[in-house]
Each structure stands twice: as structure tokens, then as C-alpha cells.
Amino acid sequence: MSEIFVIGGGLIGMLTARELAMAGKQVTLLEQNRVGRESSWAGGGIISPLYPWRYDPSITALASWGQHYYPELMAALYRESDIDPEYTRNGLLIVEPEDNEQALTWGKATQQSLTNLEKTAIGDCEPALTTTANKAIWMPEVAQVRNPRLVKAAYGAIEKRVEIRENCRVSKLLARDGRIQGLETDSGNIATKQVIVCAGAWTGDLLKDFVTRPEIEPVLGQMILFRSQPGVISRIVLHQDRYVIPRRDGRVLVGSTLEHRGFDKTTTQAAKEALKDYALAHFPLLREAKIEHHWAGLRPGSPSGIPYIGPVPGIEGLYLNAGHFRNGVVLGPASARLMSDLVLGREPILPSTPYALDAHRD
């Protein structure tokens, strides 16, 4: 019988389940649809927050830990699943940031590789880019993964270690006398003494009956994918809050929108055209490429983008690991390790106070 139930089969849930299973725990992962098919599948896969110097230090701490661990983790997932997540370190070029000096100061303070580029150097860094910008920030150590391959690799790595129940929707958390007692699901009730909620944008609804409820809401992001040739674009490029990400096989991902439409994941022609126009304005060579796919995902938005990682106050045995907003991929490994440290009573990799459910968030 499982000792711990993890609700939510996205990247956060799978990595958390893997950490606990590696520590010898019997774990069951519950997913309301198919594992890894929500925001984890839909995102861009940049292993860095966008404009990282603008975030709270608590996010920088999780991101930095994860960035150092990523090469080892990707090698392990590849080995365990025989699926290559396509971890690729091709750098992040941030065009026309409005706060160059703040970025440079942050880079020195955090020991991040970050340099200021002038106009000629921007073209040298990414020859395919068309821009009139005179300033850019170059972060050569930033890597990317291909999200669908990453979640498939994570699934392959845990499927023999963890009991996975897909199409199993948890409708209610059952608690009594200040502790978790079980779960109400579509297929019946489950008795358990330990539950970790990693349900992304759906987390707030699950915890709606509790006194301390996380401020998590769905934020829609639409993206498009061009089919181009390998090597045509070489760098991840970020400008005006949107990004262009070249994949190894020549496909180019362009994203994304930020929309507050509840749980509506409908794509729109207007967003598709806006993303296409953005891509062609920056990379005219994509005019020869076909748009192969247009999709949307629901990010788990939270105040200041700081995830909730830790116990739910007043309910013994109930934990939360959710609310990573746009940064689930880069924050996922550290979040999973920290969550497991707290559940298992180990020395935590980072101070957990900033991520507590009752911590102050701006």
C-alpha cells in the first residue's frame, strides 16, 4: 500500500514522486487526465526565468539550484527512460531590456554569467535576428529542454518506481481532527495519511475548503511552432516578454500570450497572427517556414510567481508543491527536492520559509 499520494501528473508531480520513490517510499501518482499533458507539455522549456533579475530572491534560489542540477538530472532521465529530453545549452539573448544596469548588478551578485552587448555584437551573437536595438543582455549558460520529450522521459523514469493512475480525478481532500484522512476520487475514496498536492492551476480548487487557501489561478498561454531547418536560428531570443526558441531538429517555438480566461484553453486566430507577426518581424527568414502547430496551456499563476512548497497549516500530513507560474521547468527540480526534504524530515536544500503557504507575498 502506498505511503504517499501525489495529486497531479505534471513535471512537478512526477519529479516529486521520483524523489520520494528514490528515498524508498511507496508512492502513488494521481492524474485527472493523461500524465504530463497540461502546462508541462505546453511550455517553452527555457531553463531560466524570463528577465531573471526581476524576480524575488526565493525564485532565484530555486532556479540556481535547478540550473546546476539539470545536466545530471537530464542524463539520469535519459538513462532511466531511453528518451532524450534534448537538454541544449545555446544561451539566452535578451533584446532591449529596460533595466540593463539592474541586470548587470544582479549577475555579479548571483555569480550568473551575464554580459551587456552593443548593436554589432547582437548581430554577431544571433545573425538571423533582425533588430534595431542598440542594447541586449547575453546569458551564454542558459539551456533549454523540449517539454514533450522531458515529460515523456520523466514518465519513463518513474513508471517502474511509482504507481501511476491516469484519468483519476480527485474531487475532494478528506480531513478530520486536524489531519488528512484520505481522498475522494471519481473511482471511490482512498484512505491515506500523507498527500502532496501538485495540481498546478487546479490546486486552488482542491484546497478551497481549507482556511489557508493558496492564491493560484489559471493563466493561459498560447504558442506556435514553425517547421524550419536545423541551425537557421541558434539562440533563444527574448524581446518584449515574448520568446523564440530554436529546437535541434529545426522547429522554432514562439510564445507566448498571458491571458486570464479561467480554465478555457481555446486558441484564437488573433493570438496566432500576433505571434506569427512577432516571429517574422524578428526572424524574416521564417517566412519560408510553415506553422506546424498552435496550442495553449494553463500556467498556475501565483503572487509574484513564488511557488507554494511545504505543509498546509493546521492539516497534518497534507503538503503543497504548486504555483510555479511560468517557471515550472526551471524551478521543478529544486521544488521536488525541497518538498521531499520536508516530507522526509531531511536537511532542506534551501530555507523553506519563503515558500510557506502562510508566507507574505506581494
Is-contact 30 168, C-beta < 8 A? yes
Q: At what angle do helices 57-81 and 328-344 cross, to 10 degrees?
A: 90
Question: How distant is the alpha carbon of residue 319 from its chain centre?
Answer: 19
Is-contact 245 90, C-beta < 8 A? no
Helix (H/G/I), strand (E/B), else coil: 213: coil
Cα(184)–Cα(192) distance, rounded to whole angstroms? Answer: 11
Which residue in this structure is represented by grid cell 544596469?
A: 101
**58 phi, psi to nearest 5 deg:** -65, -30
Domain 88-143+217-301 in the same topology as domain 4-78+148-215+304-355: no
**Distance in Å from the first CA to the final CA of the chain:** 41
What one-character DSSP code corresponds to residue 70?
H
The confidence score (pLDDT) of residue 211 equals 66
The confidence score (pLDDT) of residue 347 equals 97
What single letter denotes the amino acid at residue 352?
S
Q: In what order do the strands lie in the sheet with 188-191?
A: 170-176, 179-185, 188-191
CATH superfamily entry for domain 4-78+148-215+304-355: FAD/NAD(P)-binding domain (3.50.50.60)
What one-character DSSP code corresponds to residue 348?
P
The confidence score (pLDDT) of residue 91 equals 98
Q: Report the length, in residues, of the chain.
A: 362
In this structure, CATH architecture of domain 88-143+217-301: 2-Layer Sandwich (3.30)
Domain ranges across the chain:
4-78+148-215+304-355, 88-143+217-301
pLDDT means per 10 residues, the chain with 362 residues, are 92 98 97 91 95 96 97 98 97 95 94 93 96 96 97 96 96 94 93 96 90 88 96 96 96 96 96 98 96 96 94 95 96 98 97 91 67
- Count Cβ atoms within 10 A of the Cβ of residue 360 and give its class: 0-12 exposed, 13-18 middle, 19 or more buried: exposed
Buried b (16+ CB within 10 A) or exposed e, 195-215: bbbbbbbbbbebbeebeeebe
Alpha helices in the chain (DSSP H): 11-22, 39-42, 57-81, 100-110, 119-125, 147-158, 203-206, 269-282, 328-344
Cα(176)–Cα(34) distance, rounded to whole angstroms? Answer: 30
The confidence score (pLDDT) of residue 362 equals 65
- Grid coordinates in use for 127? 545573425
What one-character DSSP code corresponds to residue 50?
S
Is-contact 343 316, C-beta < 8 A? no
What single letter denotes the amino acid at residue 188?
G
What single letter denotes the amino acid at residue 33?
N
Cα(299)–Cα(220) distance, rounded to whole angstroms? Answer: 6
The confidence score (pLDDT) of residue 2 equals 81
The confidence score (pLDDT) of residue 87 equals 98
- Grid coordinates in use for 264? 478555457
What one-character DSSP code corresponds to residue 302?
-
